[in-house]
Structure 1
Amino acid sequence: MTDNNQTSKENIFTLFKDAILGKQEDFTQGSIKKAVFMLSIPMILEMLMESIFALVDIVYVSRVSVNAVATVGLTESVLTLVYAVAIGLSMAATAMVARRIGEKDPKKASETAVQVIFLGILISVVISIIGILYPREILELMGGEPKLIEEGYGYTRILLGGNITVMLLFLINAIFRGAGNASIAMWTLIVSNGLNIILDPIFIFGLGPVPAYGVEGAAIATTTGRGVAVVIQLLVLFFGSGKIKIALQSLKLQVALIFEIIKVSLGGIGQFIIGTSSWVFLMRIMSEFGSEVLAGYTIAIRIMLFTLMPAWGMSNAAATLVGQNLGAKQPERAEKSVWITSKYCAYFMGSVSVIYIIFAPTFLGWFSNSEEVITNGALCLQVMAAGYIAYAYGMVVIQSFNGSGDTKTPTLINFVCFWLFQLPFAYVMAIVLDFGPKGVFWAITVAEVLIAIIGIWLFKKGKWKTVKV
């Protein structure tokens, strides 16, 4: 029976139900299209939950003030450095757990999970201390105006101080994804997102005995929602029936394994520090044009995340399939999984790009009444949407390198495309040649197209198939 026939005879509704309920599957055998579907659905829904998180916050915060929206943008830019570490470690977690699952060794997969969590806790404590002690200085460094800093430093303090919820949420979900248990990650984020939606208006605007905290309330709601999700994740790891199960006796440091995780994750951490620090510098350039432009840019990015996150979900599915199939010594199946996933992702992103290009001003109007905010935000959305198909291929291919354990190649690609090209190009276009915010928008889009071209070229060379983790 061919791959196409096998997949077409499956009942789509049944497959969808199995995917979201987390039915255990061996993704190293059978239909690749079915494997992509079973992994992608919960991962897409998981990423949608993350993007809804961002949109809900910005909807409520936009009713507070323009400075409040700008504060969220500046703080999130700094928080992306936390994401860089978390995602870098999560790449190692996904690659190593997936490889052990592919080798049919769940005990070693669980041991890896414990050491990843230990590392995440240690790093987050250091970041918390900095965020709690220096929130004003952080916003000032990012170019925030004095009035913005006084209004928003509490938001920055809470989000950075409580970054352990972000760190562990990323890492434990990466563990689940590597094991193929993507639905668990999805359900924990549904609970977390539901709490955030309920708590946001209560803490921002006040209700009964709860005072109105303004933008600071958004940070309280977000941190609480994520914290609850982390507790659920830990309960599943200790008491659940999935492929990864942690016993009390496994809660001990394994120095050799920790160094192995660090070795694999260094490339991933470097990769995302390059990407996210680039984003921080772009925000710094944008801050030169005032709070209204910065607010429009921030809102546009939040809207973009709503569709970038599903694409990220598909790319995570590809990473899991690569890791598990390399563990099962099936590199050709791993490669085929990547091209199938890339095609589906490109169809999705291409469709979305048309919608964004046509309706960008309408979408921005949902979040702000300021003409300058809407104009700049809509332009940002339209320019970036022009490169969406390239985004699709770039995201899937880059994550596939990471899924194989080859985090060095994407790091090199990011260094060239972000630091050597995007930042200088953005500065020259926006400041030197006086194109303003438009210069930054085009720099982002062209850099992403370049990433896709270089990524596909290197992926086809096939060196990732020989990586050992």
Structure 2
Amino acid sequence: MSDAVVAEPRLVDADKQPLPSLKAPAKNPLLDHPILPTILRLAWPNVVALTAGAVVVIFETTYVGRLGTEALAAMALVFPFVMLTMTMSGGAMGGGVSSAIARALGAGDRARADTLAGHALLIAICFGLTFTVGMLTFGSMLLQLLGGRGNVLSQAQGYITVFFAGGVIPWLLNTFAAILRGTGNMKMPSAMQMAGAALQVVLGGVLGLGFGPIPQFGMPGVAAGTLIAFTIGTGVMGWYVFSGRARVRPQIKGFRIQRGMFFDILKVGAIACFNPLQGVLTLLIFTHMLAQYGTAVLAGYGIGARLEFMLSTLAFAVGIASVPIVGMAIGAGRIARARRVTWTGSVIAFGVVGLLGTLIAIFPDAWVSLFTNDAGVRAASRTYLATCAPMYAFLGLSTVAYFASQGAAKVLGPVLAQTARLVFVSVGGWWLLSIDASATSFFWLAAASMVLLGVLSALSVLLTPWGPKAGPVPEVRPVLS
């Protein structure tokens, strides 16, 4: 489907002769530089930062394991809720914030970008408080629904209580990062994410396990370490943004709520929040069904899912980088460039993630041997990787399509693609259980769902109009004295 491209108006005199430009406008790298180098330049800091985040997960699992098996089980219970908080505030609502600011800057409206930043922080505070009240009120019930009992439930509750008591902090952290990314600044948020990762590992380990005069606080200590690291990162980025060093400065003095500003952010961010929610729900349903085939199969799947998480960070890095590039192109009326950015990023993610996934499918022991020597687990993991790992390419494709659509403020299509995957896994899994299919059949179901998500996400970008409706472009005439 074609898009209308908005032409830039020209200044003309009374005889309709073009007036000479007195000064060439300064080039915007995100609008004028070649696409591939621009994507790579913005993506590499994200790759480093997201890799640091993955390393945190590994270290955290290691020292939580020293607290005992029950602590590991408790961490497994709380992990979906923590991840939902981070993905909603960062990738979903954060994408809406970055998109709105990038589109405003692309249109040359700095004042609007400043106002949007202020509204974004208010949204973060409201959502953070909602998560705090919701998890402190219903967290115990949700943990029990996931199977938490006895000491496992008690330790999970300790983590939830501490972490979500400061639920506003991760929302503010990711919102400041989104504001900066909307201006095209990827280095500052990535640097803070790496520094925060190091702090999180140290503080979580010290407070969780104890060190010297510091007693062992267990799971609440691990949560406190994470929250302290997030608080420091929030303070540094907040100072950077409000000091005027960023391209935008949130307007606080004389702040007045404007519904249009909320709408500009929420029309992307609120809809995008359904994407991680559906992703977590799909994971929980699939895991629940697969658990019926025994511990070895479930553990083998878990090892493969870790690889999926690691490789997805590469696609996330490219996707996050595409948001401000696409958003500024849309704001400047350069629809064709926005689409070229999307397809270029999609090819990068599809190729890189697919290549690495295929290599692991051919040589699965290079990954599996890092986690287990159990013969049953290794066999299940090899089967899963041989079936699904090459299809991770389609997850890379869907990730970039999702983020690029945020930049274009047209995110409904990729969200509906995730809905289709959720329905496909639920119905397909129910049917496989009804015919007593093997665990391998479930692995094929997972692989097919990845292809479905990638293809539908790409089609949504292809078929959704990104440009404004075609219409006559008014001629701009200067007032001649």
The alignment's TM-score, normalised by the length of structure 1, stands at 0.84
Give per-residue Cα distances to partners, 1:152-172, cap 9 Å, x unaligned.
Answer: 332233333333233223222
- CA gap 1:466/1:126 in 2 versus in 1, 3 angstroms: same
Partner SS, residue 250 of structure 2:
coil
1:204 to 190, 205, 208: 208
Q: Distance in 2 between matches of 1:151 and 1:315?
A: 36
Partner SS, residue 245 of structure 1:
coil
Q: Which residue of 1 is the match for residue 357 of structure 2? A: 353
How does 1:274-423 map onto structure 2 within 5 Å?
274-286=278-290, 297-298=301-302, 300-358=304-362, 360-361=364-365, 363-367=367-371, 376=380, 380-418=384-422, 420-423=423-426
Compute the displacement of 1:260 (Å): 3.8
| Residues 200 and 218, structure 1, Cα contact 8 Å, conserved in 2 | yes
Q: Which residue of 2 is the match for residue 5 of structure 1? A: none
Counterpart of 1:183, as a letter, is K
Q: Which residue of 2 is the match for residue 30 of structure 1? A: 33
Q: Distance in 1 between matches of 2:148 and 2:299?
A: 12
Q: Which residue of 2 is the match for residue 444 of structure 1? A: 446
Q: Which residue of 2 is the match for residue 75 of structure 1? A: 78
Partner SS, residue 42 of structure 1:
helix
Q: Distance in 2 between matches of 1:441 and 1:166?
A: 34
Q: Distance in 2 between matches of 1:50 and 1:323?
A: 26
- CA gap 1:92/1:282 in 2 versus in 1, 3 angstroms: same
Indicate the RMSD between aligned Cα atoms, in angstroms.
2.9
Compute the displacement of 1:449 (Å): 1.0
How does 1:42-441 map onto structure 2 within 5 Å?
42-83=45-86, 85-86=88-89, 87-249=91-253, 251-286=255-290, 297-298=301-302, 300-358=304-362, 360-361=364-365, 363-367=367-371, 376=380, 380-418=384-422, 420-429=423-432, 433-436=436-439, 438=440, 440-441=442-443
| Residues 319 and 399, structure 1, Cα contact 8 Å, conserved in 2 | yes
Compute the displacement of 1:294 (Å): 5.5
Compute the displacement of 1:55 (Å): 2.4
Q: Which residue of 2 is the match for residue 3 of structure 1? A: none
Counterpart of 1:272, as a letter, is P
Partner SS, residue 159 of structure 1:
helix
- CA gap 1:385/1:40 in 2 versus in 1, 3 angstroms: same
Compute the displacement of 1:353 (Å): 0.9
Partner SS, residue 222 of structure 1:
helix
Compute the displacement of 1:216 (Å): 3.9
- CA gap 1:361/1:65 in 2 versus in 1, 3 angstroms: farther
Partner SS, residue 31 of structure 2:
coil
Q: Distance in 2 between matches of 1:295 and 1:161?
A: 32
| Residues 384 and 443, structure 2, Cα contact 8 Å, conserved in 1 | yes
Q: Percent identity?
A: 20
| Residues 53 and 194, structure 2, Cα contact 8 Å, conserved in 1 | no
Compute the displacement of 1:355 (Å): 4.1
Compute the displacement of 1:296 (Å): 5.6
Q: Distance in 2 between matches of 1:204 and 1:378?
A: 34
Q: Distance in 2 between matches of 1:301 and 1:65?
A: 23
Q: Which residue of 2 is the match for residue 458 of structure 1? A: 460
Counterpart of 2:467, as a letter, is K
115-124 vs 363-372, which deviates more? 363-372
260-269 vs 233-242, which deviates more? 260-269
Compute the displacement of 1:388 (Å): 1.7
Q: Distance in 1 between matches of 2:229 and 2:303?
A: 22
Structure 1 unaligned residues grouped into runs of 5+: 1-23
| Residues 209 and 217, structure 2, Cα contact 8 Å, conserved in 1 | yes
Q: Which residue of 2 is the match for residue 12 of structure 1? A: none
Counterpart of 1:404, as a letter, is A
Counterpart of 1:59, as a letter, is T
Counterpart of 2:429, as a letter, is A
Partner SS, residue 28 of structure 1:
helix
370-379 vs 383-392, which deviates more? 370-379
Give per-residue Cα distances to partners, 1:357-410, cap 9 Å, x unaligned.
Answer: 355455455445666665555655554422122122221122211210012112
Compute the displacement of 1:73 (Å): 2.6
Counterpart of 1:55, as a letter, is I
| Residues 84 and 276, structure 1, Cα contact 8 Å, conserved in 2 | no
The alignment's TM-score, normalised by the length of structure 2, stands at 0.82
327-336 vs 250-259, which deviates more? 250-259
Counterpart of 1:53, as a letter, is V
Compute the displacement of 1:303 (Å): 4.1
Which of these two proteins has the greater Rg computed from alpha carbons? Answer: 2
Q: Distance in 2 between matches of 1:404 and 1:94?
A: 11
Compute the displacement of 1:312 (Å): 0.6
Q: Distance in 2 between matches of 1:300 and 1:266?
A: 31
Q: Distance in 2 between matches of 1:232 and 1:290?
A: 47
| Residues 189 and 229, structure 1, Cα contact 8 Å, conserved in 2 | yes
Partner SS, residue 386 of structure 1:
helix
Give per-residue Cα distances to partners, 1:416-460, cap 9 Å, x unaligned.
Answer: 122x20222234435752534x55544333212111112222322
| Residues 77 and 279, structure 1, Cα contact 8 Å, conserved in 2 | no
Q: Distance in 2 between matches of 1:292 and 1:149?
A: 24
- CA gap 1:188/1:26 in 2 versus in 1, 3 angstroms: same
